Amino acid sequence: MPAAQGERRGPAVRFHIAADAAATAEMAADSVEGVIRSNPRASIGLATGATMEGVYRSLVRRCQEGSLSFAEATVYLLDEYIGLDADHPQAYRNVITRSFTELVDLRDDAVFAPDCRAPDLDTEARRYDRLVRAAGIDIQLLGIGRNGHIAFNEPGTPFDAKTNVVSLSKATRRDNARFFDSAEEVPLQAITQGTGTILQAKQILLVAQGSHKSRPIRDALEGPVTSEVPASALQLHGDASAVLDLEAASRLSTDQPQV
| Interface positions with ligand GLP (CB under 6 A) | 47-51, 78-79, 143-145, 151-152, 172, 176
Instruction: Decide whether 193 or 226 has the Cβ nearer to ligand GLP.
Output: 193
102 is catalytic: no
Instruction: Decide whether 8 or 13 has the Cβ nearer to ligand GLP.
Output: 13
105 is catalytic: no
16 is catalytic: no
Q: What is the DSSP letter of 172?
A: H
Instruction: Decide whether 100 or 152 has the Cβ nearer to ligand GLP.
Output: 152
User: Of these residues, 138, 149, 222, 237, which one is catalytic?
Assistant: 149
Instruction: Decide whether 65 or 184 has the Cβ nearer to ligand GLP.
Output: 184
Residue 248 CB, shortest distance to ligand GLP, in Å, is 10
CA distance 106 to 109: 8
Task: Report which of 48, 31, 55 is spatially closest to residue 202, judged by C-alpha positions.
Answer: 31
**Alpha-helix residue ranges (DSSP H) falling in 83-188:** 92-99, 121-135, 170-176
Q: Yes or no: say if 79 and 168 are a contact pair by the CB < 8 Å rule.
A: no
Residue 194 CB, shortest distance to ligand GLP, in Å, is 13
CA distance 82 to 103: 25
Residue 69 CB, shortest distance to ligand GLP, in Å, is 26
149 is catalytic: yes
Q: Is 22 helix (H, G, I), strand (E, B) or coil?
A: helix
Task: Report which of 259, 236, 245 is spatially closest to residue 214, judged by C-alpha positions.
Answer: 245
User: Of these residues, 129, 138, 154, 245, which one is catalytic?
Assistant: 154
User: Of these residues, 16, 129, 138, 147, which one is catalytic?
Assistant: 147
- Cα 48 to Cα 39, 179, 222: the distances in Å are 23, 12, 24
Residue 172 CB, shortest distance to ligand GLP, in Å, is 5
**Annotated catalytic sites, by residue?**
79, 147, 149, 154
